[in-house]
Amino acid sequence: MTSIEPRITLNPQQHRVQVSIGGTVLADTTRALELRERGYPPRLYIPREDVRMERLTRSETVTHCPFKGDAAYFSFGANADVAWSYERPLEGMETIAEYLAFDDAKAVVTEGQ
């Protein structure tokens, strides 16, 4: 009998992760979660406590994932929708409720030790 890998897995990361746009650091943490979802590249989710939330503004964009729920988006200055958060995720994904993921096409995500 073969086991089926779960659609989504969360893996705590202990190395340092920084996120910046245009030289401005928006997040700095050693408590990121790596979310792996079949069919998508891995994403790092960062606790809100480690994100400079005062530098972000909520945009009007909302998307829906049938496995995680509704995502709210955040912008940084003229940079629209640079991050998103599942503030009320679906059952089984509650762990990511107070976390943000950043779009690595719009922000520089640096991983260290």
pLDDT tens digits, residue range 54-74? 999 999 999 999 999 999 999
Instruction: From 68, 42, 73, 46, select the one nearest 57 (Cα to Cα).
Output: 73
- 15-39 in b/e form (b: 16+ CB < 10 A) is eebbbbbeeeebbebeebbebeeee
Q: Is the pLDDT of residue 80 over 70?
A: yes
Q: Is the pLDDT of residue 27 over 80?
A: yes
Q: Is the pLDDT of residue 113 over 70?
A: no
pLDDT at res. 53: 98
Q: Is the pLDDT of residue 2 over 70?
A: no
Q: Per the confidence metrics, is the pTM higher than 0.85?
A: yes
